[in-house]
Chain A
Amino acid sequence: MKKYDVVTTISYPKKGAMGKTGNWRVFRPVVHKEKCVKCQRCWIYCPEGTIIQNKDGTVSIDYDYCKGCGVCANVCKVKAITMEREGKEK
């Protein structure tokens, strides 16, 4: 990445530019892999892009940045994702 010397508002790409936005969550999505049909709907609809596509076609959540909006659970047609309260005991 080339950095410019000019003193003006030039910003450079950074993952987590607002920090670890995972700490915004009240609810966290939990993927129940046994139910997952690997349709990738949750991955495409995630507004934050924090759904990771695993090699086997299932998905995982990047909890560092997931804001817990629940869209993934909402769009999953087989209810393989549930929203659970943060800090709740497993």
Chain B
Amino acid sequence: MNVMIDTGNYIAAKAAVMAKPDVVAAYPITPQTTLVEGIANYVASGDFKGEYICVESEHSAMSACIGASSAGVRTFTGTSSHGLLLMHEMLHWAALARLPIVMCNINRVIGPGWNIWADENDSLSQRDTGWIQFYCSSNQEIFDTILQSFKLAENKKVLLPVMISYNAFILSHTSMPAYIPSQKEIDDFLPTYDPQWKLDVTNPITFGNIIGPEHYEKVRWDMQKAQDYTKKLIPEIANEWKKKFGRHHGDLLEKYRCEDAEYILLSMGAIGAESKVSIDNLRKENIKIGLARVRTFRPFPNEDIRKLAQQAQLIVIDRNISIGSGGILFNEVTSSLYEQVDTKVTGFIAGLGGKDVNFKDIENMCKKAISGKAKNSQWYGFEEVM
């Protein structure tokens, strides 16, 4: 097994190319650019043998992926922030069409004004589209999750597109080592694509014409069933990867030092990775705290969270805000616990606009929650100085 020391984007490009998609259609946007440039390099070197379409917008990128996937091939793309928002209509389309497209999204702040740093409003605002959503905390996890996602998406009982998100610059442009299996090992793990429906001159179907209410409801039902099934399949695939390659980044959640925890921190992405350092430091101070890093946001790990809430109080960090409501992870965690009114959940909004959140900040948030002096929900390092 080789070790590749490179940025999240270049490692993602390597993973994408090793999955052997037949069509990549993408449009550049900071800080996704080096991902598509990475793939372009593989086109030039001949390592990528598929078709690489330089489209003229992100909406067209997803539309072209939908066209290609409908014609029966494996597809991949990547985007970020405004690009993701521009393709919003087509995200819904891809999921309703049951096309197993895999896409990386680099979590970047939404404007105006222009802000290229990290927060998670972009992908979280797409949580209703039907896409499966992963949040990665290391370049190794990016690589592993991309390959696992193709297998997940293409499963006959799933057939839903998958979005793999990772933070702008903190991961996309930061070099970390990653173990890269051989192409043969990847081919053994990920078989050739077998489309479950396609446009075919020998079988002239019409896809996507007018559909009445009773029939449409069945489409939605089947999508929900598919995501429910992934709650079982995601851990299975992660386990298969662990057996083959020795690495595991968690199932729907990645639990770290939760066994005897009285407090459990839930965080995502780069903050999720940094949280491990905070947990270790807090443990040194004899605080019984663990981390449940949210790896998949869709399907939302309700059952796993309910279980954790039976043993511990929960602390949630949101690098996003749903204006008019609150932190999105906080909202979904608390709504999962609607029957468990005894569990205390403390929410923090931190890192919006790409503001740095380091392990000390996370420790401060946890300590504040544990002190009992925190509100149910607050903006860390901001409200105090407002």
Contact = CB atoms under 8 A, between A and B. Distances in A.
> Is A in direct contact with B (CB under 8 Å) within the complex?
yes
Interface of A: 1-2, 4-13
Contacts of A9: 96-97, 207-209, 211, 215, 219
A2 B363 CA distance: 59
Given A6-B98, A6-B159, A11 B197 contact: no
A4 B205 contact: yes
B200 to A, nearest CB: 8
Interface string B190-221: 00000011000001111111010001001101
B205 A12 contact: yes
Interface of B: 96-98, 159, 196-197, 203-209, 211, 215, 218-219, 221-222
B130 to A, nearest CB: 11
B196 A11 contact: no
A29 to B, nearest CB: 29
B96 A11 contact: no
Contacts of A5: 196
A8 to B, nearest CB: 5
Interface of A (DSSP majority class): loop
A9 B219 CA distance: 8
A7 B209 contact: no
Contacts of A12: 205-206
A18 B206 CA distance: 15
Contacts of A8: 96-98, 197, 207, 219, 222
B196 A7 contact: no
A1 B206 CA distance: 12
Nearest to A8: B98
B207 A10 contact: yes
Nearest to B96: A8
Contacts of A11: 205-207, 209
Contact of A7 (B205, B206, B208, B219): B219
Nearest to A2: B203
A2 B199 CA distance: 12
A10 B219 contact: no
Contacts of B98: 6-8
Contacts of A7: 98, 218-219, 221-222
A12 B206 CA distance: 6
B198 to A, nearest CB: 9
A51 B168 CA distance: 62
B196 A4 contact: yes
A60 to B, nearest CB: 27
A11 B197 CA distance: 12
Given A4-B196, A4-B197, A10 B96 contact: no
B190 to A, nearest CB: 21
15 contacts: A1-B203, A2-B203, A4-B196, A4-B197, A6-B159, A6-B196, A8-B96, A8-B97, A8-B207, A8-B222, A9-B97, A9-B208, A9-B209, A9-B211, A10-B206
A4 B97 CA distance: 13
Contacts of A10: 197, 205-207
Contacts of B221: 7
A8 B160 CA distance: 11
Given A2-B203, A6-B197, A7-B222, 10 more contacts: A4-B196, A6-B98, A8-B97, A8-B219, A10-B197, A10-B206, A11-B207, A11-B209, A13-B204, A13-B206
A5 to B, nearest CB: 7
A13 B203 CA distance: 10
A78 B97 CA distance: 51
Contacts of B207: 8-11
Contacts of A6: 98, 159, 196-197
A1 B159 CA distance: 22
A9 B206 CA distance: 8
A80 to B, nearest CB: 35
B226 to A, nearest CB: 9
